[in-house]
Amino acid sequence: MAVPIAVLDCDLLLYGRGHRTLDRFKLEDVTDEYLVSTYGFPRQFIYYLVDLLGASLSRPTQRSRAISPETQILAALGFYTSGSFQTRMGDAIGISQASMSRCVANVTEALVERAPQFIHFPEDEAAVQSLKDDFYGLAGMPGVLGVVDCTHVAIKAPNAEDLSYVNRKGLHSLNCLMVCDARGVLLSAETHWPGSLPDCTVLQQAALTSHFESELHKDGWLLGDSSFFLQTWLMTPLHIPETPAEYRYNMAHSATHNVIERTFRTIRSRFRCLDGSKGTLQYSPEKSSHIILACCVLHNISLEHGLDVWSSPATGHLEQAEEDYEQMESMDSEACRVRQELLLTHFS
């Protein structure tokens, strides 16, 4: 049900009179159905975000201190889940479009600050083993620590001269490298890469690669598709399987790797600002990257709260750009040996 509230003066909302907090919308005044349909999440989830982010959103140095943390969070959720700054959204919570934009910026930065808290690989042995067991239960692929892939998110053109964000389809985008577990929880998210970079180049330059090559587990690996090069810590499918064992390996690999495709669809469906149906993200690459990362944080938090139903595919305008795969697996003989041992041990 709609809450009839007049839009307040923007300067009053941004600066306030004596920096008093302005509360014009009360969660207890509306139904759960209204909150889910308008802001994408139920009441208790929103209360959790208020507790989590409240201190950051009330800092005296922020210009929008006069707007309560609760209202700022509702404004941001409204944008993330609808992809627009429609006037009716501001009307519902009693703020202008300009104030909504500022609220989104505040909440986005607060969520990005907390990304390491919610997006990370497990560290203790029991959690790592549980991660492997969950993946093994999907299709019998052993030793998997995560599945990795890239997805593009459309952004506005930074400027006429900068072609680094133009992808293979001629659209401006960010190429986002992500890793998830068997439930779709994100373990890593690098959202800042220019859309012109192919997936294999993104991975080569990513912090994820340095992490795995220098310090992560030696008794497991990520699964990546054919857009990546085979590594000792990254198992890719065989380009042309010939034996029954190779076919079984490829089938198990595909069934397990599919988790991240479903995760991408879930994120785009839940956060429509990313799916292209409302147009591109109208921000600089840096701010767009932060919005994507903020949505990733919210995705993980929502899974922690049991909101883990796989969503239907989004109907966005931008799909994953196809790569020309030209694998050169023989360049890393040790990686070939590791995969061959995996084939002999588990799929022969």
In a domain? residue 322: no
State the pLDDT at residue 323.
Answer: 47
- pLDDT value of position 34: 86
For residue 343, the cross-strand partners are: none
The pLDDT of residue 88 is 57
Average pLDDT over residues 155-169: 86
Rounded average pLDDT over 71-88: 82
Highest mean pLDDT among 4-8, 88-92, 256-260: 256-260
81/220 same-domain check: no
Please state, in angstroms and rounded to a whole number, the distance separating the CA atoms of residues 345 and 337: 12
List the one residue out of 184, 156, 186 whose CA is nearest residue 171: 156
280, 14, 5, 1: CA torsion to nearest 10: 50
Whether residue 338 sits in one domain with residue 259: yes
Residue whose C-alpha is closest to residue 184's, from 130, 260, 253, 296: 260
What pLDDT was estimated at residue 98?
82
Query: What pLDDT sits at residue 60?
Result: 61
Q: Residue 11: is its pLDDT beyond 50? A: no
Mean pLDDT of the chain: 84
The answer on 263 and 222 residing in a single domain is yes
Residue 92's pLDDT band, with cuts at 50, 70 and 90, is low
Residue 184: pLDDT over 50:
yes
pLDDT band at 315 (very low <50, low <70, confident <90, very high): very low
Q: Residue 49's domain spans which residues?
A: 32-58+66-115
- Residue 326 CA to residue 336 CA, distance in Å, equals 16
Q: How confident is the model at residue 319, as a pLDDT?
A: 47
Is 18 among the domain residues? no
Kindly state the average pLDDT of the residues 54-65: 69
Residue type, 172: H
**123 and 70 share one domain:** no
DSSP bridge partners of 190: 177
Assess whether 201 and 247 both reside in one domain. yes
- Between 97 and 323, whose confidence is greater? 97
**Token couple for 264:** 């991408």
Report the half-sphere exposure of 21 (CA within 13 A, side-chain side).
12
Residue 167 lies in a domain: yes
Report residue 345's pLDDT band, with 50, 70 and 90 as the boundaries. very high
Residues 252 and 348 sit within 8 Å (Cβ to Cβ): no
Residues 102, 133: one domain? no
Residue 41 and residue 153 in one domain: no
Residue 314 forms part of a structural domain: no
Pairing mode of beta strands 186-194, 234-235: unpaired
CA distances from 63 to 68, 286, 287 (A): 12, 21, 18
Residue 2 covered by a domain: no
Band the pLDDT of 146: cuts 50, 70, 90. very high
Rounded Cα distance, 217 and 12, in Å: 54
Angle at 46 between CA 289 and CA 89, to 5 degrees: 70
Q: Residue 95: name the closest of 24, 8, 27, 20 by CA.
A: 8
Residue 5 lies in a domain: no
Are residues 127 and 106 located together in one domain of the fold?
Answer: no
| Gap between the Cα atoms of 141 and 324, Å rounded | 26
The answer on pLDDT for 314 being more than 70 is no
User: What does the pLDDT average to over 33-47?
Assistant: 90
pLDDT at 116: 97
Confidence at 5, pLDDT banded by 50, 70, 90: very low
d(CA 16, CA 5): 18
More confident residue, 190 or 315: 190
**Across 156-170, 175-189, 247-261, least confident range:** 156-170
User: Into how many domains does the chain fold?
Assistant: 2
Question: Quick one: 185 and 37 in the same domain?
Answer: no
Residue 262 has pLDDT above 90, yes or no: yes
| More reliable by pLDDT, 5 or 62 | 62
Q: What does the alpha-carbon distance between residue 126 and residue 26 come to, in Å, rounded to a whole number?
A: 43
* Structural domain includes residue 303: no
Strands ordered across the beta sheet of 234-235: 186-194, 173-180, 144-154, 221-223, 234-235
Question: Which of 75, 96, 115 is the last residue in one of the domains?
Answer: 115
Residues 6 or more apart in contact with residue 157 via CB below 8 angstroms: 165, 172
Q: Tell me what percent of the residues of the chain surpass a pLDDT of 90.
A: 62
Q: Do 253 and 157 fall within a single domain?
A: yes
Instruction: For residue 229, give the DSSP letter.
Output: -
Which whole number is the average pLDDT over 81-86?
75
Closest to 323 measured CA to CA, from 195, 181, 187, 180: 195
Residue 166 domain-assigned?
yes
CA distance 79 to 69: 15
- 109 and 230: one domain? no
The whole-number average pLDDT for the span 264-288 is 89
49 and 138 together in one domain: no
Other C-beta atoms lying within 10 Å of the C-beta of residue 309: 7
Confidence label for 89 from pLDDT (cuts 50, 70 and 90): low
Task: Quote the distance between the C-alpha of residue 115 and its chain's center.
Answer: 11
- The per-residue pLDDT for range 132-143, each reduced to its tens digit, is 999 999 999 999
Which burial class, exposed, middle or buried, applies to 188 when counting CB atoms under 10 A from its CB (0-12, 13-18, 19+)?
Answer: buried
